Structure 1
Amino acid sequence: MQQYFIKQKLENPITITDKETLKHMFAVMRLSTDDEVVLVFEDGIKRLARVMDSERHEFELVKDLDENAELPVEVTIAMGFPKGDKLDLVAQKGTELGMANLWAYPADWSVVKWDKKKLTKRQEKLEKIVQGAAEQSKRNHLPSVQFFATKDNFMQEFAQFDLILVAYEESAKTGEHSVFANALQQLEANSKVLLIFGPEGGISPDEIEAYQKAGGLLVGLGPRILRTETAPLYALSAISYALELNR
């Protein structure tokens, strides 16, 4: 059954107004009167809805659904600005794997330089990718996307997290393999976790020192060196296994 995130006030019946959502509902999926879909509002509750009037785009909310597809912890993926469309991939696949937020910041070794106009366009594009992936994977909440203009602005957000993990290539090279697993074992439900990944060039020594001073733990992600767009997906998969499939 098709699912849609609705960014409107919760009311019953409800008339859908978002043009992109309407296009998918009635032009692509060809919904008609009495067809049913799942609508998700900002409260994260899935609701079965019936098309009352396909011309007026009016829906009746039939019942709440007891379905939760969220990870038991809130995971924020933070990446140093990468090249090309790598953020697009992480936005889509990270959403499918349970990511709560996607952040990007200008790391010391980021090759790309984005001005404010570019950041705005990139964010809008990623938000569309995230919404499509969240609807496809039947998420209860729509992950947020945020770009930081400076690394200092990014680090000012660290205080809100219960756990900060820094994926560090040198830790992987030296065979470190227990910090990540041990940290996951100690996590409590609803904890807020920040996972930091460097761009293609990696994380600079100055950044490593700053992240550690802010409470970050350096973690290796196995014996193989992962690309910047692969590492977040590996980490999310490991978290899902540890907290959802292995308990």
Structure 2
Amino acid sequence: MQRYFIHPDRFTDDSVDITGEDAHHLVRVMRAAIGDQVICCDGIRREWIVRISSIEDGLVRAELVEPLGRSSEPGVRITIAQSLPKGDKMELVIQKGTEIGAASFLPFVSERTIVQYDGKKEAKRLERWSKIAKEAAEQAHRSRVPELASPASWKQLLTLVREADLALFCYEKEETRQLRPLIRDKLAEARSSGQPPRVVVIIGPEGGFTEREALEAEAAGCVPVSLGRRILRTETAAMVALTCILYEHGEMGG
């Protein structure tokens, strides 16, 4: 069943108004008609099967039929902190990371980041990234759209990771700390608090992290960790780490 994220203001006690690109997609692409059912959620708490009751120019109104009580969100909140990669690789990270189950994305600039950050283009880029996350969340039947932060500096990132229960610094030169036992031990500790564990996964750029960055990350409380003996592309590393954490947490058939 097709799913749409609708702003909470569009919901009433018994109906929801679907407008803009969502209404266009529903009517022009999906060829929806009066009586058809879709899923609408506000990304916060409401998630309903709804039945289309009227179709007007740019507006689809639907009546609330049945609430969906089972959330599809993982029991661990994972932020992908991704050093800005070349080309459209960040779009791939956001799309696939959303499908797998990332809670948020934090792009950042590190020493070997090749992309030249342009603040003037930030708003347009964030708008596109947000659209990609929304569409991927709808396709994957997520209950929430992941949060997207503006690109941060390296120093800002190291300040933000202090708020997490576990910050994993994925480093190709790390040889002793393996991901699996670390996840099991740390997440078990965090779960005892009764709140969803918060994990930050830090992924470097195409050229990797410098030794200075590795030392600074560890000093900030990050745990250097290996993703295996093979060198992964930056966009692949994010997906591998995310999948491993969710699997060990029992979120992916485990």
TM-score with structure 2 setting the length: 0.90
**After superposition, what is the alpha-carbon deviation per residue over 1:172-220, rounded to whole angstroms, capped at 9, x for unaligned?**
xx3x353x21222131261110000000011112211121111100000
Q: Structure 2 unaligned segments of length 5 or more: list them.
A: none
Instruction: Show the counterpart of 1:59.
Output: 62
Structure 1 stretch 131-140 or stretch 117-126: which is displaced more? 117-126
Q: Is the Cα contact below 8 Å between 1:107 and 1:199 reproduced in 2?
A: yes
Deviation at 1:50, TM superposition (A): 0.8
Residue-pair matches, total: 242
| Equivalent residues in 2 for 1:178-217, closer than 5 Å | 178=178, 180-186=179-185, 187=187, 188=191, 190-217=196-223
Instruction: Show the counterpart of 1:36.
Output: 37
Partners of 1:40 and 1:243 lie apart in 2 by 26
| Equivalent residues in 2 for 1:96-175, closer than 5 Å | 96-171=99-174, 174=175
Q: Aligned pair in 2 of structure 1 residues 208, 145: CA closer, same or farther (>3 Å)?
A: same
Instruction: Show the counterpart of 1:238.
Output: 244
**After superposition, what is the alpha-carbon deviation per residue over 1:124-167, rounded to whole angstroms, capped at 9, x for unaligned?**
11111111110000001100111224222222212321110000
Partners of 2:73 and 2:45 lie apart in 1 by 10
Q: Aligned pair in 2 of structure 1 residues 122, 192: CA closer, same or farther (>3 Å)?
A: same
Instruction: Show the counterpart of 1:14.
Output: 16
Partners of 2:67 and 2:16 lie apart in 1 by 15
For the aligned residue pairs, the C-alpha RMSD in angstroms reads 1.6
Q: Is the Cα contact below 8 Å between 1:82 and 1:112 reproduced in 2?
A: yes
Q: Structure 1 unaligned segments of length 5 or more: list them.
A: none
Q: Is the Cα contact below 8 Å between 1:78 and 1:105 reproduced in 2?
A: yes
Partners of 2:62 and 2:54 lie apart in 1 by 7
TM-score with structure 1 setting the length: 0.92
Q: Sequence identity, in percent?
A: 36
